[in-house]
Amino acid sequence: MGLDYQLVLWNKHKKTYDKIIVLSMLLYIILFAVVTLVFNSETSIETLIIRAFGTLAIIMLHIILVIGPLCRLNSRFLPILYNRRHLGVSMFIAALIHGGFSIFQFHALGDVNPIYSIFTSNMDYGSLINFPFQVLGFLALLILFVMASTSHDFFLANLSAKVWKRLHMMVYFAYTLIIAHVFLGAFQQETSPFTIGVLILGFIVIASLHITTAFKERKIDRAKNEEKEGWLKVCNISEIDEDRAKIFTVDNERVAIFKYDRKLSAIHNVCKHQGGPLGEGKIIDGCITCPWHGYQYLPSNGQSPPPFTEKVSTYELKLEGTTVYINPKAFDEGTEVTPCKY
Amino acid sequence: MELIINIFLGILGVYFLIGFLFALYFSFKGANKIDPLMTDTKKKVRFLLFSGIVATWPFLIAKVFKSNTSQL
């Protein structure tokens, strides 16, 4: 949120995370080089770079893919989520170095266009074992390029959240291509049970975390609320933590009920910025703060504080004793609703 | 198969060539028309956006056209 676009929206925490990312990447590359040279001293520098950055990119991609479900299962992981975009761009740089050196070493030294050579140097497209695996890596790199190059807030604002999200969901397609690229490459070059084992383990972790999260969210969506004169009973006031929210599904829409300053307010759970789950955020400086990118809304009217213009729908609440009831009919986005006091 | 590869790479090349030409215009002029925050945005940020504009030019060109039409 700002009145012009900045190169990078850094703050103290983001700088710390970025330092950790860069140092971890450097440490991994050094360790990989040392271990490779100790166990296989004949490895050329080009091969070393290709393998080091390739494995680094895959490890980073796995971390990126587990961050989302981990945060849904445990809010302690949220700080990592705040920096996922920087991690994604760093991963693309690692993948680009891997791809760039591979293209240079295997395709740039002949008289054929290197990109054309990737697709035509091995034409065994009908074979599973001898399939030209580098093509899959190239296509994955193209997808990662689109994602990294559109990670700036300008694209979020101008492509629309829907288009931006769809573009960035292509990470799962890129992941599939990369898995196939590595499997086929490993089969064709040197079958390393360790590499294959780690990849299978990584896939199992990613898949099981996504499935667990999906079940958890399905449980929220399927929960039936008791109805009383048009109001839906949602929970006891003690079930909501101070300055936090509890998420409910009302009329097929997710609603976040926030508790703050001895008051309760309900707003639509989806952030206007990028569809982040507002109910997983918290109240900071009197504003509901999205856990994904820090977009803020006033709890009483669902509006971003001026000069910002984002708005979400609001809902009416009432208390009977300590039981919270919600009117399932949403008000228009940005409508002022008097908070329910307790 | 070679024909499919040639067509695919041809389309890819044309896509990025159009994207590059559009990005030259859009980064420094067109973006201001569709996003008021771009007016005060510095040159180094515009350079940073360049590759993303090359990648997503069909979406952005549609937005520029819409903005031109609404100004008529």
Contacting residues for A80 by C-beta, under 8 A, at least 6 apart: A17, A67, A70, A71
Q: Is there a domain that residue A38 lies in?
A: yes
Give me the pLDDT at residue A186, please: 72
Question: What's the token pair of residue B38?
Answer: 């771009």
Q: Point out the domain boundary residue: A220, A240, A266.
A: A220
Q: What's the gap in Å between the CA of A152 and the closest CA on chain B?
A: 7
Stated as kind and residue range, the H or E segment containing A325 is strand A323-326
Of A197, A220, A243, which closes a domain?
A220
Domain total for chain B?
1
Residues A64 and A200 in one domain: yes
User: Peptide bond preceding A305: is omega within 30 degrees of 0, i.e. cis?
Assistant: no
My answer on whether A284 and A206 are in the same domain is no
If asked whether residues A292 and A171 sit together in one domain, one would say no
Q: Which two tokens stand for residue A260?
A: 């703050």
> Cβ of A104 under 8 Å from any chain B Cβ?
no
pLDDT in tens, chain A (342 residues): 456 788 887 778 888 899 999 999 999 999 999 999 999 888 899 999 999 999 999 999 999 999 989 988 887 887 788 778 899 999 999 999 999 999 999 998 888 999 999 999 999 999 888 899 999 999 999 999 999 999 998 998 899 878 988 999 999 999 999 999 988 887 777 656 777 888 899 999 999 999 999 998 888 777 777 888 889 999 999 999 999 999 988 888 899 999 999 999 999 999 987 778 899 888 999 999 988 778 899 999 999 998 888 899 999 999 999 999 999 999 999 999 999 998
Domain region containing B26 = 2-71
Q: Are residues A288 and A305 in the same domain?
A: yes
In a domain, A6, yes or no: no
A4 domain-assigned = no
Within 8 A of B51 by CB-CB distance, chain A residues are 145, 149
Q: How many domains does chain A have?
A: 2
A314 in the same domain as A206: no
Residues A28 and A76 in one domain: yes
Q: Say what the pLDDT of residue A2 is.
A: 53
Evaluate whether residue A5 is within a structural domain: no
Q: How far is CA B17 from the centre of its chain?
A: 10
Cα–Cα distance measured from residue A312 to residue A292, given in angstroms and rounded to the nearest whole number: 16
Give the Cα separation of A50 and A110 in Å (integer): 19
Say yes or no: ipTM exceeds 0.90.
yes
Same domain, A200 and A272: no
Q: Examine residue A121 and state whether it is found in any structural domain, yes or no.
A: yes
Contact A150 B39 (CB under 8 A): no
A244 and A318 in one domain? Answer: yes
State the smallest CA–CA distance between residue B63 and chain A in angstroms.
8
My answer on whether A152 and A231 are in the same domain is no
Helix (H, G, I), strand (E, B) or coil at A267: strand
Q: How many residues does chain A have?
A: 342
Residue B4 forms contact with A (CB below 8 Å): no
Query: Which residues, 6+ apart, have CB-to-CB distance to A46 below 8 Å?
Result: A101, A104, A105
Round to whole Å and give the CA distance between A274 and A160. Answer: 9
Mutate to test the interface with A, among B6, B17, B22, B45 (most CBs of A within 10 A): B45
End-to-end CA separation in angstroms for chain A:
33
Q: Is A158 on the interface with B (CB under 8 A)?
A: yes
Q: Which of residues 5-64 of B touch A (CB under 8 A)?
A: 5, 8-9, 31, 34-35, 37-42, 44-45, 48-49, 51-52, 54-56, 59-60, 63
**Do A253 and A323 share a structural domain?**
yes
Quote the tokens at residue A37.
Answer: 């040279």
Residue A286 belongs to domain spanning: 227-341
Using CA atoms, how far residue A119 sits from A125, A145, A287, in Å, is 10, 19, 53
Contacts of A119 in chain B (CB under 8 A): 5, 8-9
Chain A and chain B share a number of CB contacts under 8 A equal to 69
- Backbone phi, then psi, for A276, in 5-degree steps? -65, 155
User: Which stretches of chain B score pLDDT less than 70?
Assistant: 70-72
Strand, helix or coil for residue B69: helix
Boundary (domain end) residue, out of A167, A197, A220: A220
Q: Does B3 touch chain A (CB under 8 A)?
A: no
Instruction: Determine the pLDDT at residue A161.
Output: 79
Residues A134 and A157 in one domain: yes
**What pTM value is reported for the model?**
0.82
Partners of A157 on chain B (C-beta within 8 Å) are 35, 37
pLDDT at B70: 67
- Tell whether A178 and A236 lie within a shared domain: no
